[in-house]
A and B are shown apart, each in its own frame.
Chain A
Amino acid sequence: MKSQPVFELDDIAVYFEKHAVSQRSLRHMLGTLTGRNGQEYFHALRDIRLTIGPGEHIGLIGRNGAGKSTLLRVLSRVITPREGHVYVRPDLHIVPLLELGIGFQPDLTGRENCFLAGLLMGYSESQIEARIDGIRTFSELGEYFDEPVKNYSSGMYARLAFALATDVEPEVLLIDEVFGVGDEFFMRKCVIRMQRLMESGRTTVLVSHNLDFLVMHCDRLIWLDQGRMMMDGEPAKVAAEYRGSGGQ
């Protein structure tokens, strides 16, 4: 089991209906059924074949809209692809930190949200209770920890999410843009914690525009463009090709 892949993606395709707002009505549905409306789609991912092994550190790179965040959502099982097959090893704690947020309920306090999200990640209340002081300290929220998260600034929100996701020491960590967390001082703390987690053998998949960090810390880089995998391989080589493409 230990050497079994953590993720296996086979011919994945994710696409969204265009003009989705008008498509949410009975009128549109009736039009579709009678053939009056044509279906138009925006492809976020297509033909993705990918295997990620235990302990691997993967960096996802690409321009805005390339499909990096969508791929992370597929890996975290938030999105079920329209086509293809996804295998996710069932015995691991997988913690997604998508767009620097976890499933936080805006009206609940930071503390309550830690329990809520922690339970969803598969931890018990006592396990979260044991870590709550560490999360509070790392997030530097002080008395705001017991305030509703809807009153947080975006930096505070991201700090709490990052503190929770990394303090519970998941076996698999999926992070969308780790370098967007808080101010410069807090970001340094995050980088150190990320390095420690990566060195301790956790599987990590990172989306970032900081190529230097990814080249230095990842085993593989995957370059996505317009939903397709352009390259998957040794970080320095993929980064050079990506840079050389000039974003084309």
Chain B
Amino acid sequence: MIEAEHPAHLWRNPEPKRSYEVVIIGGGGHGLSTAYYLAAHHGITGIAVLEKGWLAGGNMARNTTIIRSNYLWDGSAGLYEHALQLWEGLSEELDYDILFSQRGVLNLAHSLQDVRDSVRRVEANRLNGVDAEWLEPEEVAEVCPIVNVSDAVRYPVLGATYQPRAGIAKHDHVAWAFARAADALGVDLIQNCEVTGLEVSGGQVTGVSTSLGLLAARRVAICAAGHSAVIAATAGLRLPVQTHPLQALVSELLEPVHPCVVMSNAVHVYVSQAHKGELVMGAGIDSYNSYVQRGSFHLIERQMAAALELFPIFARARVLRTWAGIVDVCPDASPVIGPTPIDGLYVNCGWGTGGFKATPAVGDVLAHTIAHGEPHPLAQPFGLERFESGALIDEHGAAAVAH
């Protein structure tokens, strides 16, 4: 019998120290990325990432890995395009192949209003330096031959926006790459360590209580996705987010059949084909608030109906696995990044249905925000204060997922 040796570990599993300079709550993509940029670009030492389960086992393991930057408003275009440019160099930056595949994304339009909104978004994207084109139905069929562009369906494809630089990446590799690089820079990645409360004294955060005891920290960043509000509430801080399940599913492994990413607001499904061969599909959130990583079956049924309307070729594919993640949704479908009324406490939440694509940009701008004590210019529009000033960033259209 041959005993295989365990491959080299990508990171240490240290015991937590009693005190840190920066504690990041949540060891998903955003938390790991933030830790990496803090250590690599701001020279900060004494950083811990606390993860209640295993690294990147929450929404990082549950998303549909779509990366694009074709959002409508200037603030969003700035942030998501920054992310896309970081993605383009990320394998080199982290010296680890994240399998970033820029296969392009089509956002289909099915009504006259869809067409008008889409063309407007293409023009807005171009003004912001984001690659975008408007495609007529026959051009859509050239990019993605398996999309049904016939006019004999209930919601015919009237065209699509196309962002060629968009694509997908391998989520596990992204997490491992950030974790390995952060660990090499001395960041403590602490798994199975659940934060049960924020410690605040005199309006200043002083640490976190966890399942492994009290950890002191001068600065704390919440990167806990669906549980952000629960953690913030332990310090009496209310966040403008509601937590919902978001479901996705994959088919069995198939030969390469789907060359790009296709999203449809109106028929409402988004589909790509993973490197391994599964068709990866998602749709909208379940309507009710929930922290259960499970959704209702009728959403899957609707999502399948939408997928078959757009891709008749999928009729005989079988669903292999369905699941849900817990996402925190903001009223304007844009995230919250920035300081809080509690000194030393930073929040990165409200990413709702679209946080994966922003992973490197979140790390970069949140690390800058933590290091300098004031928002990175690209994070500036996304502060909590927008809900009082009224300067919302309404991305319900470009978010492409019903909220």
Asked if A pairs with B, the answer is: no
